[in-house]
Amino acid sequence: MNPPTMRPWNLALRLGLEIGALAGLGLGVWSQTDGTARWIAVVIVPLIGAALWGTFNVLDDPSRLGEAPVEVPGWSRLVIELLVLGAGWAAYRIAGYPSIALGFTALTVLHYAIAHARIRWLLT
C-alpha cells in the first residue's frame, strides 16, 4: 500500500501539535520542580519527547518527508505519537491549564480525523 498524501495545512497543524506538546512538557516539569532541577528538567524532558518524535519513524511516512533514522512498524509510530501528544496534554493539566489541554485535545482529534488515511496506512 502506498503512503497517503497529507494536506499542507494538516502538516502545519501536526507541527503545531508537536511543538505544543513539547512546550507543555516543559511547562509541566517547570510547575512541578524548583531550584536547579527545574532548569535541568525543563530542557531534558522536552528534548526526550523531541528525540522520540524525530528518531523512530516509518519509512516513506508522508508526515515525515519519508525519512526514518530508526525505522519502526506503523503501529509503534502511532503509539509514540500518542504518547508524546498525551504527555503534552497531561503536562498542561498538571501545570493547571485545563483550557489549553482541552484545546490541545480538540486539535489532536481534528488532526487524526483528517489524517485517517495515514492511520490506516500505519496500521497495515
Q: Please write the tens of the pLDDT for every residue from 31-65.
A: 999 999 999 999 999 999 999 999 999 988 888 77
**Rounded mean pLDDT of 4-8?**
90
Average pLDDT estimate for 16-21: 98
Residue 7: the pLDDT is 92
Domain ranges, ordered by start, for the chain = 8-123
Exposed/middle/buried for 70, CB within 10 Å: 0-12, 13-18, 19+? exposed
